[in-house]
Amino acid sequence: MDRLTTLLSHFSLHAGVFYTGNLCGIHDFAQDRLRGHIHLVRRGPVKILGADLAVFDIQEPTLLFMSRPDTHQLVADDRAGADVVCATVQFGGGGRNPMTDSLPSIVMVKLTELAAADALLGLMFDEAFSDHNGRQGVLDRLCEVLMIHLLRHCIERGLTQGGTLAGLADARLAKAMTAIHENPAQPLDLVSMALLAGMSRARFAVHFREVTGETPADYLAAWRVTTAQGLLKKGRQLKHVADDVGYGSASALTRAFVRKLGCSPTEWLNNQESQPSER
């Protein structure tokens, strides 16, 4: 069972590499509420200052992902410098999404722990520190693949803090959650979800909340609203979207929107359309 593909199909992944090379001295990075930041250190040492009011001293090749980056600095030696690749990562329209919301604000992984990505990292560094034609496009696409490797790593190693990825890391809960992701319109009650997970109704309800931080019903409702948001942005009519995500009428979907987001689908969509382009 592929736990990530359906999730990624709902939140298109875009990466943009904005710096490659030898970094010397102090470099400032502003807070970014719409995108995560990747700092890929090929050769250090590098210090990260300001993130979570902590200091991270990176001595060996490391991938640092900041899902909700606050103002921070990279500090390298003035003479030797450090070889780094920096990129932004955005899911869907940017901002909040179930994947990065499931991660700590800072994920730091030594490249030796990403053995499955050895060839990918080799390609990235070759592109980053050369002058090939089409270099930017290649780097952006490779960075997107690297992000998927990182999400896979976080699921497999349990580097989550509740939410969707924590649930997908649990073999039993993943069966029920993947069914929700693949077809949110299907009638799924607590009994049917527990059956998919191979658990009793009571144990499933308790375990689901312990792992994800939400009740199964709340998670299903949130996913239906999330799916509806994507369909509405594509121009699908509200009454058809309601059917697509398992609500019997436009008014029922509107009530779900108000409960989850504090506004109606029309109000939410109008607000999205008035926002400046994020990419």
**Could you say which of 124, 157, 190 is where a domain stops?**
157
Vertex 83 angle, CA 59 and 53, to 5°: 55
The answer on 181 and 138 residing in a single domain is no
Last residue of one domain, picked from the residues 98, 131, 157: 157
**The model's pTM:** 0.84
Q: Which residue has the tokens 């604000």?
A: 105
Half-sphere exposure of 24 (CA within 13 A, CB side): 5
CB 189, CB 196: distance < 8 Å? no
Within 10 Å of residue 115's Cβ, how many Cβ atoms? 7
pLDDT tens across the length of the chain (279 residues): 577 888 888 888 899 999 999 999 999 999 888 889 999 999 989 999 886 767 889 999 999 999 888 899 999 998 889 999 999 999 875 567 888 888 988 999 999 999 889 999 999 999 999 989 999 999 999 999 999 999 999 988 888 888 999 999 999 999 999 999 999 999 999 999 999 999 999 999 999 999 999 999 999 999 999 899 889 988 899 999 999 999 989 999 999 999 998 999 999 888 876 655 444
Domain total for the chain? 2
Domain housing 251: 170-274
Q: What is the CATH number of the domain that holds 205?
A: 1.10.10.60
List alpha helices for 4-131, DSSP H: 5-10, 118-128
